[in-house]
Structure 1
Amino acid sequence: MTIMKVRFYIEALSNHKKALEKAVEEIVKSLKSETSVKVESLRTEDVLENPEEEMLKYSSMVEAELEGSFEEIVKATMKYAPAIVEVISPAKIEIDAKSLMKVLGEISLFMGKLMEKFGGLVAYPPLDEIPKPKVGYSREEIEELIIDGKETLYRFVVETYGKDKESIEETMLKAFTYEGCRINKILVKVQEERDGRVYALVASELISPFEVLFQLT
């Protein structure tokens, strides 16, 4: 099992200084009690005040250096939501498909629970000005993107709704492009029509940097 070393930069914000100081104390306490990852070092910055900011005028940063497996580092990332994750080592890591699917499944489950509690977490800007992207790449193009561009080829399925099948496909193509994906294949399968909306499953084969795959998940 490959051990990763990362540095978390966890930003804390509040409109009350005492509440922020308490929140930072809780973050540090939680990190010190971690058993799934090894906490190598911890550092907290002084509370800063931005008088020009009406809401959340106080801020602070917790810097933590952690060691653990890829799976545990991902879990810690979901738990602490750092503003930045700096990978210190290794320079590269290989993960078998089964392990990766397990991690992505846990991320999807975690995000699903957040959406059940707080509603939709993503809002796109108007996509009208984004041109319809290319769909379909040759085997040689895909190999070049994977080998030279260090990108990932994967299948992604999402449930969505829209005015009709055609508008759903057009919107998803532009949304994938906005996220930074190349689209090799896409299939829209209508599930039902209800309340003036068409509900459908969108299955796609995408090529993108690994971090975009995580964002989509």
Structure 2
Amino acid sequence: MNLDLFDTLEPSDNRQQQLAQDAFVLRGFAIPYVPELLPALAAIQQAAPFRHLVTPGGLRMSVALTNCGRLGWTSDRHGYRYTATDPDSGRPWPAMPAVFLRLAQAAAAQAGFDAFMPDACLVNRYEPGTKLSLHQDKDEQDYNAPIVSVSLGIPALFQFGGHARSDKTERVPLFHGDVVVWGGVDRLRYHGVLPLKEGQHPLLGRQRINFTFRKAG
């Protein structure tokens, strides 16, 4: 699906969409987990508040981030990397809640990736106008494990490209509860999020929350 007019988007009735050989959108897959996900998110945010990281080039990221799990992804003038402790507090990142792990493993299995054991969950908070530039997830040591990305809150347009930044991208609308899983031959495809349109979600207000589960170590 490649749509230019985001304002016309509505949730799809197609419960599973294949983006590439080893890449899928699981429509509404996370909805049954939401009553447990949101309290768990609140506890993570209290222990490790959202923050705006700085790129190695000195640019402030518009998307706010925190982490949970054994490892957390971070960025500063010294580069992109995973750490076992929160640089802001010096304490270990909050443990990954059991409901997060259940959701990640169930979604991975649905997409054909059994025995997924993530040790990192990046939690991104998008507000209207924020975006995520095209990039590859390549700071992990294990490329055999998939990426599992969960969308909550207001809609977003996900860009899914090829193995070169210049490759054509597909625009994939994502809604509350949708999960994207990619791995295998598609593990290192470029992807990003276009600037969010204004919106209001009954549970999350003017924001989109994204959980990205990875096997980092």
Q: TM-score band (shorter)?
A: under 0.3
Q: Greater Rg, structure 1 or structure 2? A: 1
* TM-score computed with the length of structure 2 as normaliser: 0.25
Greater relative contact order, per chain length (Cα 8 Å cut-off, separation 6+): 2
Task: Indicate the structure with greater helix content.
Answer: 1
